[in-house]
Each structure stands twice: as structure tokens, then as C-alpha cells.
Amino acid sequence: MNGWKKWLAAGLAFVMVGSLAACSSGGNEAEEGGKVKLIYARGKDVTGATTQLVKEFEKQHPNIDVEFREMPADTGQSHDQYVTMLSAKSSEIDVFDLDVIWPAEFAQAGYLLPLDRFIQKDGIDMSQYNDGAVEAGKYNGKQWTMPKFMDAGLLFYRKDIVKNPPKTWDELTKQAEQYKGKGGTKYGYLMQAKQYEGLVCNFVEFAGAYGGKVLDDKGKVAVNNPGTIKGLKKMMEVAKSDYVPGNISSFTELESHTAFIEGQSPFIRNWPYQYALAQDKKQSKIADKVDVAPLPAGDQGRAATLGGWHTGINKYSKHKKEAWEFVKFMTGKEGQKITAIKGGSAPTYMPLYDDPEVKKASPLFANKDFVEGMKNAIPRPVSPQYPEISDIIQIEVSKALAGKQSAEEAVKNMDQKLKKVVK
């Protein structure tokens, strides 16, 4: 599971995971008077945005009541509970939120209702949504989930030290060396390089920037290509440099963001929550000295790993039509505006970044570099076998960063192992 999600859930900041104001043990049968009750499941929401969103939906849909079922804050536990419930063909929940890496797995397992006919019937313009977020909800040519909110890897920097943030990874290398030790810093760059999900996210960004990929558009293994090798070489160069901590292979989000807010580096690659954390004067030594930029580009452009949450409909729901109305509202312009303003979550519906109220809600939403960074977001490999894919990438990239194998050997090993998993 995504280790960094635990930090988002801790309320450190910008993109909030989960939601639920109350538990419900009731069923979802039609109530007296023709009302339909929907059960909506997701993780804990500390912002109150979901409560406001549901109240507004119920006001507009007096024939539908929505009750919450609170799921564990730990995404791994939530995942396992969903699988247990849905593998038994249970109709006890109607609508539920999915981590961005789950849709393909749940679609293949038969847990989700395909949404294409609803999207077409209601004329939903999917081109208005973030491309990477939409793609994360697709599998076998069908749209299984709607993107609800997102985050992506970004470059945060000390604006009191760095005048012009690097546009390429080569420029990042030069500046990290140049600014190391300036302004009380110890390092030049911070990243997540421990053997866990965060390592995969960093790898996907380096590979994508140089034209590499793990799977092709048809879901077949395509990792053994020059772009992936070039991207991994750049990642190895950075991780082995003298401007990152010597123990960078032990760094997750916690270690990297802690070092950054203590003023130890002019640059860090992290998720959007880093901004609010760095601006928190109670914790941060660098408040009011931080700005954000898109991650640097390789020779094929910029790439940022997509994170976030989607919403889907239980295939076994007894109220599919009403469930779609709720999903449509929640992930549409009006619902995402509520979630952005009240909950601080980054919209996947891109026109909202031009909305004055949304821009006022968070400095990041009004920051063109932040918006540009989000536009560059690409999903991790979309596959029902994602957990196995992630494990393979983690092992082989870790060996490469530790100097135990070359980039070519790592990519070759990934290719061979992935082909045994992805058919």
C-alpha cells in the first residue's frame, strides 16, 4: 500500500484521505415514501467536506438519502475489507472510494459497475478531467471509476536560496550541488528511496521523464526500453550523489519532509501536503520561504506520479441508478468544488482551477506551477496485478540504487519477472 497515504491521513496537510462522519449498520432497502437509501463507504474525513457534500446532494435529490460507512484509515485494511465484502457479492454498500491503484484489480474481479453508459447518457465530458486520473480508472477499454481528487509528485524549493527552480533533471543536479550548504542546509536534494511504494513513485517519474514505461497501452510488459534505462540511470546518479543524505535508502515521506522543514535542503520531491507542512510555523523552520514547481523534465518532458482517490459503484448494488446520481454529483463540478474548498483536496475536474473561490481556498490552487505539475501526472501501471508489479520494481530498483546491479541489469530483471506476473 502507499506508505505516504498514512501521512496524508494524519492531517499534515493538503490532500486529505478518506471520509465519514458516522457509521451505519442499516441496510440500503427503499424506505417508506419511495425514498432510496444509499450506503457510501470511504475512510475517515477530518475536514467535514463530505458531510457538507452529502447534505447538498440530498437537498437536490429529496428522493435519495445517503448514509456513511466509515472504513479504516489504513488503506490496506480498507482494501481487504472491500475485497472480503465484494467477493461475497454483498450489496451492503452502493458507492465506495478507491485508492487510485485499485480500479483495474477491482474491475477484473467483477466488483465494479462499468460507468460508460451513464457517462454517455448524461453527456459527461471526460476531457475536462485530468488525463492521468481518467486513465487510472480505465481497464480493458472501459471506465470503471470516476476520479474524485488527486495529488502528484512535485518539486518544493527554498525561495530564499533558489531564484529560478530547475526545469530539467540536469539543471536540478547542478543546482543541488551549487546550493548544498547554503542557507544552513546540509544537503542539496531530498527524495524517497526506501524499498516501499514511494520508491516506485519516484522511479515512475524518472522513467516517464525519459520516455520509459512499465506497461504499454494494452497492458503488456514494456519496461525493457531505452527510456526506462535512461531514467533509472538518472535516478541512480541522484541517489548516489553527495548532495543527498548518505542514508537516502532509508527515506520515506516522513524522513524527507522532516529534513526539509528543519531547513536541511533547498529541494525536495514530495506530495502536495508538503506545502502546508512547510508553512506551519509550529513545526517548520522555513515557513514563508517555500515555493513549488513541477518536477524537472527529462529529454521526453515532465512526469509526476499520480496519487489520489476515485469513486465507483458496487456491481451488486440494488440502487445503481441512484448510486450513479451520487457519483456524478460528487465527482462533478459542484461536488469537487465543495471538496476543494472545504476539504483542501486537489480537483481532478480541471476547470475548477480557474474558479475564484477555489483559488482563494488554497494558495496552491492559484499557483500555475502547481497546476502545471498536476497536469503532468501519470498513473502507475494500470493492472489487476499491481501489488506484484510494485514488489518487483521495488526490489530491482533498490538493488540498482545500492550499486548491486546496473540500470540495464535491473530493467532486464524487471522485464523477465513482470512477464511471469502480467500475462
Please report, for the domain that includes residue 33, its CATH number.
Answer: 3.40.190.10
Residues 144 and 172 occupy one common structural domain: no
Count CB atoms within 10 A of the CB of residue 404: 11
Residues 47 and 181 occupy one common structural domain: no
Residues 113 and 213 occupy one common structural domain: no
Quick: pLDDT tens for 48-88.
888 999 999 999 999 999 998 999 877 888 999 999 999 99
* Amino acid 73: pLDDT: 78
Average pLDDT over residues 335-362: 94
Cα–Cα distance for residue pair 98/42, rounded to 1 Å: 8
Indicate the residue among 378, 397, 413 that finishes a domain.
Answer: 378
Averaged pLDDT score across all residues of the chain: 91
Cα–Cα distance for residue pair 376/363, rounded to 1 Å: 19
Quick: pLDDT tens for 279-334.
989 999 999 999 999 999 999 999 999 999 999 999 999 999 999 999 999 999 99
Residues 247 and 345 occupy one common structural domain: no
Range of the domain at 364: 5-151+306-378
Banded pLDDT at 25 (limits 50, 70, 90): very low
Quick: pLDDT tens for 397-413.
999 999 999 999 999 99
Neighbouring residues of 271: CB distance < 8 A, sequence distance ≥ 6: 4, 8, 14, 15, 151, 152, 153, 154, 253, 307
Cα torsion 112, 423, 380, 121: sign: negative
Q: Could you tell me which of 165, 135, 102 has the C-alpha nearest to residue 379?
A: 135
Residues 297 and 314 occupy one common structural domain: no
> 391, 376 in Cβ contact below 8 A?
no
Residues 218 and 137 occupy one common structural domain: no
Residues 124 and 245 occupy one common structural domain: no
The three grid cell numbers given for residue 75, joined into one nine-digit string: 488503506
In 213-347, the DSSP E strands lie at: 267-270, 290-293, 304-313, 346-347
Quick: pLDDT tens for 103-142.
999 999 999 999 999 999 999 999 999 999 999 999 999 9
- Total of domains in the chain: 2
pLDDT at 26 exceeding the cut of 90: no
What backbone torsions phi and psi does residue 156 show, to the nearest 5 degrees?
Answer: -105, 145
* Amino acid 190: pLDDT: 98
Residues 289 and 333 occupy one common structural domain: no
Neighbouring residues of 285: CB distance < 8 A, sequence distance ≥ 6: 261, 262, 263
Residues 95 and 121 occupy one common structural domain: yes
> 220, 422 in Cβ contact below 8 A?
yes
* Amino acid 76: pLDDT: 83
- Which amino acid belongs to residue 218? K
* Amino acid 276: pLDDT: 86
Average pLDDT over residues 26-34: 51
pLDDT at 27 exceeding the cut of 50: no
Average pLDDT over residues 371-378: 90
* Amino acid 24: pLDDT: 35
Cell 490552487, residue located: 365
Please state the length of the chain: 423
Helix or strand (DSSP H, E) at 67: strand 64-70
- Which amino acid belongs to residue 301? G
The three grid cell numbers given for residue 248, joined into one nine-digit string: 537516502
Residues 141 and 234 occupy one common structural domain: no
Residues 341 and 252 occupy one common structural domain: no
Q: For residue 134, how many C-alpha atoms fall within 13 Å in the half-sphere facing its CB?
A: 16
Cell 448524461, residue located: 122
Banded pLDDT at 33 (limits 50, 70, 90): low
In 223-343, the DSSP E strands lie at: 267-270, 290-293, 304-313
The three grid cell numbers given for residue 200, joined into one nine-digit string: 516506485
Banded pLDDT at 5 (limits 50, 70, 90): very low
The alpha carbon of residue 32 and the mean position of all alpha carbons in its chain are separated, in whole angstroms, by 40
Cα–Cα distance for residue pair 253/196, rounded to 1 Å: 11
Count CB atoms within 10 A of the CB of residue 69: 19
Q: Could you tell me which of 79, 92, 110 has the C-alpha nearest to residue 309?
A: 79
> 419, 221 in Cβ contact below 8 A?
yes
Residues 35 and 106 occupy one common structural domain: yes
The three grid cell numbers given for residue 258, joined into one nine-digit string: 522532516
pLDDT at 6 exceeding the cut of 80: no
